[in-house]
Amino acid sequence: ADGADLTLTPLGDPESGELIDRVVASAPQVDRWRIHARRQRRELPIALDLVKLFHAVDLANARLKVSPRGDRFHVEFVHPTLAGRDGDERLAIAGTFFDYALGEQVTMDFVDEPTFAQQGDAVDLGLAIGQLIRETSAALGGTGKNVDRPRP
């Protein structure tokens, strides 16, 4: 068997993240189990499926406008349904999407709170996520892989 994953998530909260980091660092090794301190990046179709499953929103036709802001990025979602949702609800939807499309630690470290528009200039979702992965990967030493807190 390939094993299993156990993911503990701070849901974007740095203080909870510190506690989870300590818990994961002190967790015993268990054969065929991988313990993660953050949600791991998934392929884009899987991230979209998870958003649809958890929030009943299809983001497949969403477009993104990505703007660098210092060492972070501002992202505007251009999606009529998402733009029309309640503020907390759409932030939760965007958070779920970013946590799985980019990885939770990358989202926490590099993505500002998104904004939402019903229409506007933006690029295809896959192109924008690819750009964010490349740019954040370069900032992290060019691995392009999931960023997780290493076990000692």
Percent of the chain with pLDDT over 90: 73
User: How far is it, in rounded angstroms, from Cα 84 to Cα 87?
Assistant: 9
- pLDDT above 50: residue 150: no
Q: Are 60 and 120 in contact (CB under 8 A)?
A: no
Could you read off the pLDDT of 66-101 as tens digits, one per residue? Answer: 999 999 999 999 999 999 999 999 999 999 999 999
Q: Are 62 and 77 in contact (CB under 8 A)?
A: yes
Distance from chain centroid for Cα 143 = 17
At 151, list the tokens. 């076990």
- pLDDT above 60: residue 148: no
Q: Are 81 and 63 in contact (CB under 8 A)?
A: no
- pLDDT above 90: residue 146: no
